[in-house]
Structure formats: C-alpha cells, structure tokens
Structure 1
Amino acid sequence: MGAVPAAETFSPWTVVNLVFHHLVDQGLHPVLGEGGDPAVPATALLRTLGIDPGRNDETVTSATVQDELAAIRTRMLGEPPA
C-alpha cells in the first residue's frame, strides 16, 4: 500500500482575504465584522471542499492579519494606520 497523503490545510483568514479583495475588485463594498466572524463560514467552506482549516498563526489576533486589516481600512475608508 502507498503512503497516506498528509491532510491539506489552509487558513480560513486567507479565504476571507481572497473573497474580500475579489468583491472589492468587482466594485462591491464588503464590510468585515458587522455580520459576525467571517472565519466561521470560511472554515465551513474549506471543510466542504475537503480541506482542513489550519495555520493558526493567521488568527484574527495575529500581527499579520491585523496589519492586513489596517491596510484594507486605509484603502477603503481612508483611515490612517494606527
């Protein structure tokens, strides 16, 4: 028998980022946070596609995610970085 392939993992926040940017590119105006935690449906989407949510280093509290959210706020709302 062959080796069992390792489970594929992907960060739900990367999915949120990708979808957010795609919607903006389409001229839409998505808002993060007002409808709940977007990582929850992103996690469900990954599981539906057979991919395990992972990479806990990219949670909403990580510096990388916070920096990206600040950059999005600056681009979309003209808010200066904190």
Structure 2
Amino acid sequence: MDEPHQTDETYNPWTVVNLVFHHLADEGLHPVLGAAGHPGEPAAALLVAFGIQPVAEGNAKILRDTDDQLADLRRAVLGEP
C-alpha cells in the first residue's frame, strides 16, 4: 500500500466520529461510544488515509478564517491597524 500523501489539510478526528455516529443513528442504528474501544484512533487513521492531518484544534482553514474575521472586527470596532 502506498504511503499517504501529506497536505496542509487538517481536521479534528472527533468531527469524523460525530459525523459517523449521526449517520448511523439516521439509519436507525444505535452506536454506543466506547463499546468497542476508543474511536479517536480509528477516526484519526481514516483522516490520515485521506491525506488529512488529524489535529485536536480542528480544520486549520476555518481557524485562519476565524482569526481573519476577528482581526477585521477589531479594526472596525477599535480602529487597530
């Protein structure tokens, strides 16, 4: 199997767990967190397989966008450069 390629993409593995749990519940299943072990590691492995770096902080693009929006607000409200 090929090595996963590295990108600048990041994501929180718990977001994957949450998405999967909601999907399973929508399908009428009843997943139980922790019944088969800690789901964080498999979620992180799935992200790595997709070439996405799992980080606790979550999606780096969203964090950058949020920082930019906050800087714009500070400039607008406080007149900071």
TM-score band (shorter)?
0.5 to 0.7
SS of the residue corresponding to residue 13 of structure 1 reads helix
TM-score by length of 2: 0.60
Larger radius of gyration: 2
Where relative contact order (Cα < 8 A, 6+ residues apart) is larger, the structure is 2
Give deviations 1:8-67, integer Å, cap 9, x for gaps.
10000000000000000000111101111101100000000000001x247xxxxxxxxx
TM-score by length of 1: 0.59
- Percent of aligned pairs with the same amino acid: 62
Work out whether 1:11 is the aligned partner of 2:5.
no
Aligned length: 52
Corresponding position of 2:21: 20
The runs of 4+ residues in structure 1 deviating greater than 6 Å are none
Which stretches in structure 1 are left out of the alignment for 5+ residues? 1-5, 59-82
CA RMSD of aligned residues (A): 1.5
In 2, the alpha carbon distance for the partners of 1:24 and 1:34 equals 15
Corresponding position of 1:63: none
SS of the residue corresponding to residue 34 of structure 1 reads coil
Which stretches in structure 2 are left out of the alignment for 5+ residues? 1-6, 59-81
